[in-house]
Amino acid sequence: MTRKKSVVLFISVILLGIPVIAQTQGPRAGRANYDPKTETKVSGTVEDVQQYSRGGWRTGTHLTLKTDSETLDVHVGPSQYVSSKQFSFAKGDQIEVLGAKVKIGDADVLIAREITKAGKTLTLRNAQGIPLWSRGRRAD
């Protein structure tokens, strides 16, 4: 086989494999979808605020929320979106969260749709769970 044919064959195999990889390793691989059927409203005290970086450029806000009956990992959304809405969280804050309880890996988490603090509500997702920061795209 000539070198030119080998290069063409190699490129063809790579190009044909991209759709397969994209379907199995898409942007939501390993993450849970918001499920409106599992929506619940909880109130509690913020025990911890974490900022997680994904891809080195986008930081997400997560809260550890202590309720009367459990401690929850609350996925809020991109930190930049939260701050653009003049919202912030600190340990000791009393909040109410409307969100969907889902599994991510082995962990149960609450993906927030709305968070109310001191009478002010931060809306993160629409009723179908689509993030407001994504301008209608299904991403978070």
Does the pLDDT at position 128 exceed 70? yes
> Strand 58-66 vs strand 39-54: parallel, antiparallel, or unpaired?
antiparallel
Does the pLDDT at position 106 exceed 90? no
* Mean pLDDT computed over 77-101: 96
List beta partners, residue 98.
Answer: 41, 114
Does the pLDDT at position 140 exceed 50? no
pLDDT at 4: 64
- Confidence at 135, pLDDT banded by 50, 70, 90: low
| Domain 36-134, CATH number (from 3.40.50.920, 3.20.20.70, 2.120.10.80, 2.40.50.140) | 2.40.50.140
